[in-house]
């Protein structure tokens, strides 16, 4: 950290390096997750059908947890070359932890404004106050999210304000945010959706400080934006499954199967443990069918296969154990961002029609709308894990408010690194990205919500 604090690097050069880094990482990574959430079948799991043999459900608690046998050898880390020697069914085992005592409070959300649920509301057209920044003037913009630059003809998606039902949100104020961040490390930890929120935060914040007082250090896993005059950082850590996995390489994680250590969070927690404000997410990477568990004490490389939701619950429990034993809510703030919705099936908001989010220009105004991609079992599981953590975590419950925003995705107006056949090109919906979000856009509002809680 000391090294680049001293180094006075010229800002445009850093921005350029950063672009190249982001471009590079996306080149290798995004086509993977994109493909999964579009109409192509997942290229996964050695021919396993997604969600086939393994029950993709919550645990069967009637089965007794197995006792951990203690291994003498320290476990070897998992990386992209890790394979399973064989795969058996999930045994019902859970990570054994000293901190399974339940604190069990209410899920904390909306505590910023007494008696008001900030996550329940509607989108209001407001082209006077929005967007909060200009796409082309943000030097940290990603080519994956810069929709105007890539030819999106409409711009109304940038003009929507989130209006909670029973109160108003405090207006976004970059200087006030910097004051809150003074002397602190704010770190986003998760997947490409969380990275989008981090880029949004950089765009929201950067114009308020001089260009020569900001710098960014690209690194494959942890990227750090530094604001010299506030002695503050805004960082992003790639950890799509939260626990250690074969997808932890931020650049190259196109794996044919997901292998993870459900009982090992140290690889990532050692990077995030000194942050003052932590914003986590995890969801889409669990939606590709079964995953393989490689427990730390497994010496013969035998994996256990479990459905994505079950795997996510195991990972969330390890994460929650870390939070329970390491977070003092008076000193640190931890947020968990709920699942980011996708819009693959137009028939869900317009019965009888075909297609997806392509060419959608308006939000959904039916307040009861809930898309099928926003998996309810996952939401219940997340609630359960959060309630055990009580006041140590606040939930940024962005699922439903983002679900209304079928107009907010890049669709075909982003950089794609693969080339498409003329057949595909003739049918734009077939390669539309209905997963990520254009910036300026929906993730700016997630950050405005975060701002309310700091």
Active site residues: 192, 433, 436
C-alpha to C-alpha distance for 322 and 212, rounded to whole angstroms: 37
Q: How many CB atoms lie within 10 A of CB 174?
A: 16
| Least distance (Å) between residue 156 CB and ligand NAG | 8
Considering only the stretches 13-21, 45-53, 172-180, 379-387, report the one whose residues sit in contact with ligand NAG under the rule CB under 6 A: 379-387
Residues in the chain: 454
DSSP, collapsed to helix, strand or coil, labels residue 125 as strand
Q: Is 189 helix (H, G, I), strand (E, B) or coil?
A: strand
Question: Taking CB under 6 A as the rule, does residue 161 contact ligand NAG?
Answer: no
The structure tokens listed for 388 are 């055990």
**SS3 assignment, position 277:** strand
Judge residue 55's burial from the number of C-beta atoms within 10 Å of its C-beta, 0-12 exposed, 13-18 middle, 19 or more buried: middle
Q: Which is nearer to ligand NAG, 25 or 378 (CB)?
A: 378
Residue 57 to residue 63: CA distance in whole angstroms: 14
Closer by beta carbon to ligand NAG, 54 or else 294? 54
Binding ligand NAG (rule: CB under 6 A), the pick from 183, 300, 354, 423 is 183
109 binds ligand NAG (CB under 6 A): yes
- The helix (H) or strand (E) run that includes residue 293 is strand 291-293
- 46 binds ligand NAG, rule: CB under 6 A: no
CB of 303 vs ligand NAG, minimal distance in Å:
21
Query: Is omega for the bond preceding 305 within 30 degrees of 0, making it cis?
Result: no
Nearer Cβ to ligand NAG (83/136): 136
DSSP state, residue 454: -
- Per CB under 6 A, the list member of 224, 241, 312, 386 interacting with ligand NAG is 386
How many residues interact with ligand NAG (rule CB under 6 A)?
22
* CA angle 388–393–397, rounded 5-degree value: 100
Among positions 200, 338, 378, 411, the unique one binding ligand NAG when judged by CB under 6 A = 338
Instruction: Return the residue of 136, 168, 372, 427 that touches ligand NAG, per CB under 6 A.
Output: 136
Within residues 230-289, the interface with ligand NAG by CB under 6 A covers 231
For residues 412 and 428, the answer to whether their CB atoms sit within 8 Å is yes
Q: Is 60 in the site for ligand NAG (CB under 6 A)?
A: yes
Which segment (59-67, 186-194, 305-313, 356-364) binds ligand NAG by CB under 6 A? 59-67
Nearer to ligand NAG, 45 or 394 (CB): 394
Single out the residue of 127, 166, 168, 372 in contact with ligand NAG (rule: CB under 6 A). Answer: 127
Determine if the peptide bond prior to 52 is cis (ω within 30°).
no
Nearer to ligand NAG, 73 or 331 (CB): 331
Alpha-carbon dihedral angle through residues 40, 35, 239, 47, given to the nearest 10 degrees: 30
Return the residue of 383, 384, 390, 415 that touches ligand NAG, per CB under 6 A. 383
* Residue range at the interface with ligand NAG (CB under 6 A); choices 55-63, 66-74, 164-172, 257-265: 55-63
- Angle CA 414–15–22, to nearest 5: 45
How far, in Å, CA of 148 to CA of 154, rounded? 8
Q: Which residues bind ligand NAG (CB under 6 A)?
A: 60, 62-63, 107, 109, 119, 127, 134, 136-137, 183, 185, 231, 338, 379, 382-383, 386, 395, 397, 399-400
């Amino acid at each position: 950290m000391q090294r680049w604090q001293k180094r006075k690097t010229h800002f445009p050069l850093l921005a350029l390096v950063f672009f190249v880094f982001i471009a590079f990482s996306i080149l290798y990574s995004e086509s993977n997750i994109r493909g999964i959430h579009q109409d192509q079948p997942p290229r996964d799991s050695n021919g396993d059908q997604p969600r086939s043999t393994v029950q993709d459900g919550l645990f069967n608690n009637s089965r007794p947890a197995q006792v951990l046998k203690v291994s003498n050898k320290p476990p070897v880390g998992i990386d992209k070359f890790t394979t399973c020697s064989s795969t058996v069914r999930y045994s019902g085992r859970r990570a054994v932890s000293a901190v399974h005592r339940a604190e069990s409070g209410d899920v904390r959300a909306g505590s910023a404004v007494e008696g008001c649920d900030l996550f329940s509301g509607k989108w209001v057209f407001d082209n006077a106050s929005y967007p909060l920044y200009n796409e082309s003037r943000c030097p940290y913009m990603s080519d994956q999210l810069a929709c105007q630059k890539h030819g999106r003809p409409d711009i109304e998606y940038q003009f929507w304000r989130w209006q909670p039902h029973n109160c108003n949100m405090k207006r976004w104020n970059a200087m006030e945010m910097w004051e809150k961040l003074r002397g602190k490390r704010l770190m986003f930890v998760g997947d490409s959706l969380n990275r989008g929120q981090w880029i949004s935060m950089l765009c929201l914040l950067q114009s308020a400080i001089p260009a020569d007082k900001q710098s960014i250090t690209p690194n494959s896993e942890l990227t750090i934006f530094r604001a010299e005059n506030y002695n503050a950082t805004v960082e992003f850590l790639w950890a799509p499954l939260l626990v250690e996995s074969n997808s932890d390489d931020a650049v190259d994680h196109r794996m044919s199967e997901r292998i993870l250590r459900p009982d090992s969070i140290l690889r990532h927690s050692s990077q995030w443990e000194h942050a003052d404000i932590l914003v986590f997410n995890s969801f889409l990477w669990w939606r590709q069918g079964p995953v393989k568990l490689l427990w730390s004490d497994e010496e013969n490389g035998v994996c256990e296969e479990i459905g994505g939701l079950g795997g996510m619950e195991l990972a969330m429990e390890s994460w929650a154990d870390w939070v329970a034993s390491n977070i003092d809510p008076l000193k640190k703030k931890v947020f968990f961002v709920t699942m980011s919705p996708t819009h693959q099936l137009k028939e869900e908001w317009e019965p009888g029609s075909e297609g997806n989010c392509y060419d959608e220009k308006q939000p959904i105004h039916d307040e009861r709308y809930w898309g099928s991609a926003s998996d309810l079992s996952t939401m219940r599981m997340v609630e359960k894990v959060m309630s055990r953590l009580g006041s140590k975590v606040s939930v940024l419950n962005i699922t439903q408010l983002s679900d209304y925003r079928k107009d907010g995705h890049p669709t075909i107006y982003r950089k794609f690194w693969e080339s498409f056949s003329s057949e595909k090109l003739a049918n734009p919906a077939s390669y539309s990205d209905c997963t990520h979000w254009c910036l300026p856009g929906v993730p700016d509002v997630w950050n405005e919500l975060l701002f309310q809680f700091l």
